[in-house]
Chains A and B, each alone.
Chain A
Amino acid sequence: MLDNNQLLRFTTAGSVDDGKSTLIGRLLYDSKSIFEDQLQAIESTSKKKGHEGVDLALFTDGLRDEREQGITIDVAYRYFTTPKRKFIIADTPGHIQYTRNMVTGASTANAAIILVDARYGVIEQTRRHAFIASLLQIPHIIVCINKMDLVDYEEHAYSKVIDQFEEFSSKLLVKDIRFIPISALDGDNVVNRSTNMNWYQGAPLLHTLETMHISSDINKIDARFPVQTVLRPQNDSHRDYRGYAGRISSGIFRVGDEVMVLPSGFTSIIKSIDTYEEELKEAYAPMSISMALEDDIDISRGDMIVRSNNKPEATQDLEMMLCWLHDNPSRPRAKYSIRHTTNEQKAMIKEVVYKFDINTFKRNVEDKELRMNDISKVKIRTTKPLMIDSYRENRTTGSIILIDDTTNETVAAGMIV
């Protein structure tokens, strides 16, 4: 049973009060992932706060400030397992000021759940969440139309949201989008099929999460292997071994493949692919392996091994969508460290082409300063070439972060156009 079970990462986005925490609590509760002592703690807190019954939403509160203020400050990770899959939830706060957290949670997600309150339909925040999911290229989007119990389980409320969504989602790059009418509070169509909405023929949320095809979410075409570190044991059994250790970003490598090392451009043949247990004939993303080549070439951290007939672009000039993540705004023509795969160079923001207003979907070409939560198109120049793919084709080799050397903080995340 366990051998083929996959891991699915999803993020949940919603506005204040649209029942996101309740939905997560419901998924965990109905999949029996809440333990008795946790439930008792929630029960006693619910009583203290004067809530009727058990407030499942309390389960997702973590830090002292969050419990006291009743808000979510930071991304929290939750886990549950069903007989079919293991799930990691990146629970991100939905307030306007927390784009940064949503981007963070979305960066590794296979799926995004976007919550819409059935009474109000698509609102500004819904569009923002959908935009970020599309910007971060989350492969699957599930729109949950929640609080169906408050609109008498009317199909109309559900189809209205689908119409509203389609009006603007045609502009987004979303490959797979589904709509599910639910009531998180009562559990309708979350884990169990609702008996209140016979007009809905689709699957409940959990079943959808358990069965959606995710094996193709990682690019298996373009073979990219960023070198993390070099293993040179120099012990008796491996005197001359020189292994390039790393995690395959995308694609498949096989022993005997002709490969090229970038940026040097030297070519060689894969001699062996090694793991602790065994030598492999082939390895694919996202496996962590060690690779040995037939020829003795100078290779170090930051280099990338690719197949000779399928190369990324080597360039010092990058165009990207950049999300600013730090309280300190960008400084004009300031230098930052840029981290791309395992490669680190210096970089300068040469030009802010436009800022994108995620509330109006309009471009602003006047304002050039990048502040917390701003999303903008920028041109960046690096001191040495990076080996890049576009983010649309490759989430690993198409993404970067900027680090401010004066504070060591991560200040921005970029998706290469």
Chain B
Amino acid sequence: MSKYYLNYLDELESEAVFILREVWAQFQNPVILFSGGKDSIVVTHLARKAFYPSRIPFALMHVDTGHNFPETIDFRDKLISELGVNLIVGSVQDSIDDGRVAEEKGKNATRNSLQITTLLDAIEKYKVDCAIGGGRRDEEKARAKERFFSHRDDFGQWDPKNQRPELWNLFNGKHFEGEHFRVFPISNWTEMDVWNYIKRENIEIPSLYYAHERKVVWRNNSWIPYSEFLVLEENEEITTKKVRFRTLGDITITGGIESEADTVTKIAQEVSAMRQTERGNRSDDKRSETAMEDRKRQGYF
């Protein structure tokens, strides 16, 4: 006799597949926002499943800050050719060159918030009406309030106090010309769920997630990877450590942790014992208590 209930990973997967198919049915020109991080990789994997045996019917959109880990770009290009989907790149460098945004100054300067303009420009240029993201509600307190189908006005802004109610499995993606939606199929997943799923599904992820030797600098309580973009302070020195990254953002702001975990199983074990949130090593979230909410209101991922 079979059991007629799903385990939690199957249920999360089924929910995400349903959401992705709703996107396809309700929007004209959706894209997957692909950062090369594990969450957008999982969303892409889910899209492959949702439309099998057809190809993924969306393009992948990458907002390229120019401050990438080289491993991320290699991974992205390989995945694109394997899936046979289109890649759209929005370039922050182009936005700077066009005078749309100005580079931040100082030691802690990053291109993190500059991405917002590039992203919104790309959404407008390619007439994207739905950008699918890998955001999860457990990541950050402002994200805990986000809908699966999250409306953005024609300035790309999020109004957290005036969101459409979402009941049952009825998702309302109706919008006017110029507006768009952000859709988050893995809203209900936690970091642990993502790792358990990667393990179960045997999903390929960039080598950066596995423990590896790397030149790093100790800054803001984490190991910042050394790169050409990093301006060293006087008292800072470059050392080599065995590290891995829990999240992947720009190479300038993503801190690594010392780790020996070089397989998905070891990572999952390590994550389950972690006592710090995964974004704890992201200096972009540390700028203020509501740093994420403030950026999201403006149109951040």
Q: Which of A's residues lie within 8 Å of B, judged by CB?
A: 2-7, 35-38, 41, 61-65, 67, 73-79, 81, 85-86, 88, 100-101, 103-104, 107-108, 214-215, 218, 220, 228-229, 231-233, 235, 237-238, 241, 243, 245-247, 252, 274-276, 282, 284, 286-288, 290, 301, 325, 337, 339, 341-342, 395-396, 399-401, 403, 405, 408-410, 413
Contacts and interface: CB of A to CB of B under 8 A. Distances in A.
Contacts of B12: 7
B125 to A, nearest CB: 23
B293 A64 contact: yes
Main SS class of interface, A? mixed
B25 A229 contact: yes
B53 A233 contact: yes
Contacts of A243: 53
Contacts of A215: 3-5
B144 A62 contact: yes
B144 A76 contact: yes
B145 A63 contact: yes
B262 interface: no
Given A228-B21, A252-B4, A287-B10, 9 more contacts: A35-B280, A62-B144, A63-B290, A79-B138, A245-B51, A247-B18, A274-B52, A339-B172, A409-B172
A292 to B, nearest CB: 11
B136 to A, nearest CB: 9
Report which residue of B52, B277, B290 has the largest number of chain A beta carbons within 10 angstroms of its beta carbon: B52
Nearest to A101: B165
Contact of A4 (B7, B52, B141, B175): B7
A327 to B, nearest CB: 9
Q: Which 4 A-B pairs have the closest CB atoms?
A: A7-B8, A408-B174, A288-B17, A276-B49
A375 to B, nearest CB: 14
Given A37-B280, A233-B55, A76 B172 contact: no
A245 to B, nearest CB: 6
B9 interface: yes
Contact of B161 (A61, A74, A77, A86): A74
Contact of A63 (B137, B160, B166): B160
Interface of B: 2-15, 17-18, 21-22, 24-25, 48-55, 137-138, 141-142, 144-145, 160-161, 163-170, 172, 174-176, 187-188, 190, 192-193, 196, 274-277, 280, 289-290, 293-294
B4 A229 contact: no
Contact of B187 (A76, A77, A252, A287): A77
Given A63-B145, A77-B144, A401-B172, A104 B166 contact: yes
Contact of B163 (A6, A74, A79, A235): A74
Nearest to A277: B49
Contacts of B10: 287
Report which residue of B14, B187, B276 has the largest number of chain A beta carbons within 10 angstroms of its beta carbon: B14
A107 B188 contact: no
A108 B11 contact: no
A224 to B, nearest CB: 12
Contact of A231 (B22, B51, B190, B277): B51
